[in-house]
Amino acid sequence: MKKKLLLLACLCIGAMAVHTQAASTFNEQFNIPKAGSAPVIDGVFDDSEWNNALCRVLSKDSTSPLVGEEKDFPATHLYWMWDENGLYYFADVPDVTAPATVHTAGNGSYNSGDGVQMGIYPDVTQSGNDNNVLYFYSMAVASDGSAVIGEHFIHGTGSAGKDVEGAVIACTQNGTNYTLEAFIPARCWTGSNPPLVFEAGTTFAMTNVLMEQDGGSQSLFIDSSWFDGTSANKYTLTNDPAGKKSDVEFAEMLPAGIGEQFLSAGSEREDMTSYSGNIVGLDDSTAGFIMQEDGVVRYDFAVKENGKYMFVIPYTAPAGDNCAINIAVDNRDAAVYVELAEADGVRYALIPWELTAGKHSFYIMAPHGYDGETVKSGFVYGWDLYLAEADGNPGQAAVLFVGDANGDALLNLRDAILLSRYFAGYGVTVQEECADLDGSGILTRRDAMILKRYLTGWEGYTVPYTK
């Protein structure tokens, strides 16, 4: 208990800045490159996912002891990338001793035992922890083997930390060695004054901390100033590429054979602020929408077989708009950032994706940070998202859609007739995963009624049915 209280006392020194000696550095400049695609947050270090990421090494030669004695310890490697969605972080910690303190997941205060910490000032002229100026994140492996992340001064109350809502974190363990991989979304950085903005050119002050507990003996090793943004090392977000290279390709025309094979968003819009709009170069019959900041459109579909597929997204991106989208399958928090090539008229982004058999949701999201009253014209899309096999083949035998009762990858009256015969006892077979239009989990005559009314143009009937 005495050691834990000592740590809390160090954390809560408030505005008292500490300039350590020994190997810590001050006001060094580092650049954090931009992720081409988001890493999978699974605690496993993938060289291709973290290619060219900023790497910092914490060792006896690069840190100073804030708590405990100076000593040798195996080098810890820390990695960073960013994109408009937030900050990506990886810690590889080759620990050699077991801690006496192992936290219970959910308590928010993980500032003792073994783990890593980041103290970040969005305003590099600030020090202390008053007036919401300092983020102090603590990450560790909990007693149940899960990874945890808490924060003390923006999300928490100072002496008491709080789990960071929306953050994603994972870990691995090998004896006393452990890894921590985290994604802290942009929305988790808005509570400070000023907020931390995820765009190229943003600079913040940061001090990294290694928490090392040998039995009951606690140490803290820091690589820069403690609670002082004016002298702590500075980190700048840049457009230098990192992570996996994007597999996105672009085409001037819709690939042959998939014109009838599309997923229609219909009214399936989440968190959407939108206006009616037309795709540049097409007539009014192709009205789409203008996606604004944080807008999300969801497409529901299913595939019969595991395999690599290709999403085809029509868009426009006039010169100078610097247009981009985020895309995700099933998990919105695991989005991939895609920059769109310039296109004065309609162009198509071809995005390969590995899919497992079964139902999925595909999300198109406007990146966070596109502010202002004027909507960028490049965020104009048609309602139709096309899906094909990875080689461009329509793949109609493999693709299923909600309402596609006969599995031919088309949505028409044949599906409604098949459903009617199914419920009339004709002994016909239907694609059950596609015929449940109201999402009740069971097939009923109501599903057949919804499909028939949708196909014959009844107002208020959508696929999937959302009322």
What pLDDT score does 307 carry? 77
Domains of the chain: 2-242 (2.60.40.1190), 249-394 (2.60.120.260), 401-467 (1.10.1330.10)
What pLDDT score does 397 carry? 35
Please report, in tens digits, the pLDDT of each residue of the chain (467 residues total).
Answer: 333 333 433 444 333 455 445 689 999 999 999 998 889 899 999 888 898 899 999 999 999 999 998 888 999 999 999 998 999 999 999 998 999 999 999 999 999 999 999 999 999 999 998 889 999 999 999 999 999 999 999 999 988 899 999 999 999 999 999 999 999 999 999 999 999 999 999 999 999 999 999 988 999 999 999 999 999 999 999 988 887 766 787 777 766 655 444 554 443 333 333 333 333 333 333 334 444 444 566 666 667 777 777 787 777 666 665 667 778 888 776 677 777 777 776 778 888 888 887 777 777 776 543 433 333 333 444 445 666 655 544 444 345 567 778 766 567 788 889 988 998 888 888 877 778 877 777 888 888 888 888 888 888 777 655 44
Tokens representing residue 27 in the block: 């006001």
DSSP string, 62-89: T-EEEES-----PPEEEEEEEETTEEEE
Bridge partners of 339, per DSSP, are 324
Single out the residue of 316, 254, 264, 320 nearest to residue 291, CA to CA.
316
DSSP string, 398-422: TEE-TT-TTSSS--SHHHHHHHHHH
Single out the residue of 131, 266, 118, 271 nearest to residue 205, CA to CA.
118
What pLDDT score does 389 carry? 57
Question: Whole-angstrom Cα distance, residue 56 to residue 58?
Answer: 7
